[in-house]
Amino acid sequence: MVTIYDVAAKASVSAMTVSRVINNTGKISDKTRAKVKRVMEELGYVPNQTARSLVLQQTKLLFLLITDIMNPFYTTLARGAEDAAKRSGYRLLFGNSDESIEKESDYVTTILTTRVDGVLVAPAGDPSLPHLESLRKHKVPFVLLDREVPGIECDIVLGDSKDGARRLVEHLVAKGHRNIAFVNGSPSVSSARLRLQGYQDGMKLSDLAYNERYVFETSFGPLSDLTEMGQWLDQLDPAPTAIVAGNNVLAVEILRLFRERGISVPEDISIVCFDDLGPYSEVEPFLTVAAQQAYQFGYMGMQMLVERIQERETALPWKKIVLPADLVIRRSVKTLS
């Protein structure tokens, strides 16, 4: 590997002079600068970021931890985060916790040993608290995405889960539905709790009784087994005419179940959910959804993170951004007489 010393020797200057040329600091004569640049070119010198990080105590690396890399919500978010990171001169490492606290724990270790300058994290759930405390203790700035974690104060970008869920219910009610079930993520995830509240609010505002038997709680991630959900559905009496899914993945899982059983949507039952399904849904506009501004989650979160990193001294107050969810009406809901 070509080092700064190799360049210095060949250009007959000190390493420091080469460093100054690279970073455009200090005073360098045009002649020397030209010579050093020429030698760097000749030798194909590339600065060693590792050495630089060690002495500067910053890596210019940021980390994005998401919970489901196959979910278009998160890839779109990642896209936003990447764009914003790049704009600020940071590079982005990323990891995928798969909604698992254990995998998240591994990534926290990676984050700590890698000495990244900051972290953008969609926490797996409330049990993520120790992980966040660990980041805080080690003074790693972080911004939460999509989910709150009780017990920690920090910058955060949230979607308006309660409002979105309420509107999904109200939409169903407006279409004549009275018997609405809810398939939700784990109650240990804040957005799941808020969506449940939104569902309850929606029912109440429509003068419909809330019946907890019509709520099924599982994980926001892909389901390995659909039988449990099938059994829950079977024992509902009367059967619901519509289902609200806590996110896009769950909606797809429900659709998969219905497909297996030969149940047609929306003819036999209606479905709505949180989060859109990526570019494909534009083309085959099927699911009615409360679409969140995924790109903005990533972009704004990253902006907050960079700001937090750069203003490390000044005790900025914690910021909280709440992004609205927009109802996109398509054709997965049947109008009841």
Give the binding site for DNA (CB under 7 A): 1, 3-5, 12-17, 19-20, 22-23, 25-29, 31-33, 45, 47-48, 50-52, 54-57
Which lies closer to DNA via its Cβ, residue 29 or residue 314? Answer: 29
Q: How far is the CB of 276 from a second copy (least distance, A)?
A: 11
Q: State residue 290 phi and psi, 5-degree precision.
A: -95, 95
- Which one of DNA, a second copy, none is in contact with 222 (Cβ closer than 5 to 8 A by kind)? a second copy
- Which one of DNA, a second copy, none is in contact with 4 (Cβ closer than 5 to 8 A by kind)? DNA
Q: State residue 85 phi and psi, 5-degree precision.
A: -65, -45
Q: How far is the CB of 229 from a second copy (least distance, A)?
A: 14
Which lies closer to DNA via its Cβ, residue 140 or residue 287? Answer: 140
- Which one of a second copy, DNA, none is in contact with 14 (Cβ closer than 5 to 8 A by kind)? DNA
- Which one of DNA, a second copy, none is in contact with 298 (Cβ closer than 5 to 8 A by kind)? none
Q: How far is the CB of 178 from a second copy (least distance, A)?
A: 26
Please say whether the beta carbons of 280 and 61 come within 8 A: no
**Helices marked H in 44-71:** 49-56
- Which one of a second copy, DNA, none is in contact with 256 (Cβ closer than 5 to 8 A by kind)? a second copy
Closest CA to 18 of 6, 29, 4: 4
269 vs 118: CA distance, rounded Å: 45
130: preceding bond cis by omega (within 30 degrees) = no
Q: How far is CA 21 from CA 3, 9, 57, 230, in A?
A: 14, 15, 21, 67
Q: What per-residue string of b and e applies to 281-309 under the rule 16 or more CB within 10 Å gives b? A: beeeebbbbbbbbbbbbbbbbbbbbbebb
As beta bridge partners, residue 243 has 181, 271
Q: How far is the CB of 16 from DNA (least distance, A)?
A: 4
Q: How far is the CB of 186 from DNA (least distance, A)?
A: 36
277 vs 63: CA distance, rounded Å: 25
- Which one of DNA, a second copy, none is in contact with 26 (Cβ closer than 5 to 8 A by kind)? DNA
- Which one of a second copy, DNA, none is in contact with 94 (Cβ closer than 5 to 8 A by kind)? a second copy
- The single-letter DSSP state of residue 127 is G
Q: List interacting residues with a second copy (CB under 8 A).
A: 1, 44, 46-51, 53-54, 57, 59, 61, 69-70, 72, 75-76, 78-79, 82, 86, 91-96, 106, 109-110, 112-115, 137-138, 222, 249, 252, 255-256, 259, 277-284, 286
291 vs 286: CA distance, rounded Å: 13
Which lies closer to a second copy via its Cβ, residue 50 or residue 235? Answer: 50
> Which amino acid makes up residue 225?
D
Q: How far is the CB of 269 from a second copy (least distance, A)?
A: 14
| Residue 33, CB-side half-sphere exposure with 13 Å CA sphere | 11
Q: State residue 42 phi and psi, 5-degree precision.
A: -55, -45
Q: How far is the CB of 41 from DNA (least distance, A)?
A: 15
Which lies closer to DNA via its Cβ, residue 44 or residue 262? Answer: 44
Q: How far is the CB of 47 from DNA (least distance, A)?
A: 4
H or E element: which one contains 238? none
Which lies closer to a second copy via its Cβ, residue 110 or residue 179? Answer: 110
